Amino acid sequence: MSIDTMKKVKMTITMDVTIPQGLALRTMFDHWNWMANIGRSREVAFYVDGDGNFHPNIECKFNEEMPELDDLFRNLAKRDESHSGKDRFGHPMSSFDFDAIAWQIGGPIGHDE
């Protein structure tokens, strides 16, 4: 498989959220941008209250064709829970990263030029 792992594509995400959920998510996205702009690498968490009213029905669209998100890519993206710690209630956290996918498809994972 030959894919340019450094090529940027436009990803549009649509979610059904409450106003507080939207504000919290926007804060997290702003934090992602801030960390990227200063060159900081950290894991960032968002509490998914699935037994509450957080049922976002997320849809993702891309401006061009993407590889199929199969079990291989899902498993590569999900980090081992031993690296993720516990949430505020003591439950294992789910953590995701793109490096293993880039390695699998044979591309660089370095920084933007």
pLDDT confidence of residue 113: 42
Quote the CA–CA distance of 54 and 64 in Å, as a whole number. 29
pLDDT tens column, 6-65: 889 999 999 999 999 999 999 999 999 999 999 998 888 888 988 999 999 999 999 999
The reported pTM is 0.78
Q: How many residues does the chain have?
A: 113
Q: Is the pLDDT reported for residue 79 higher than 50?
A: yes
CA atoms of 106 and 3, how far apart (whole Å): 8
- Supply 67's token pair: 């590889």
Whole-angstrom distance, CA of residue 50 vs CA of residue 16? 13
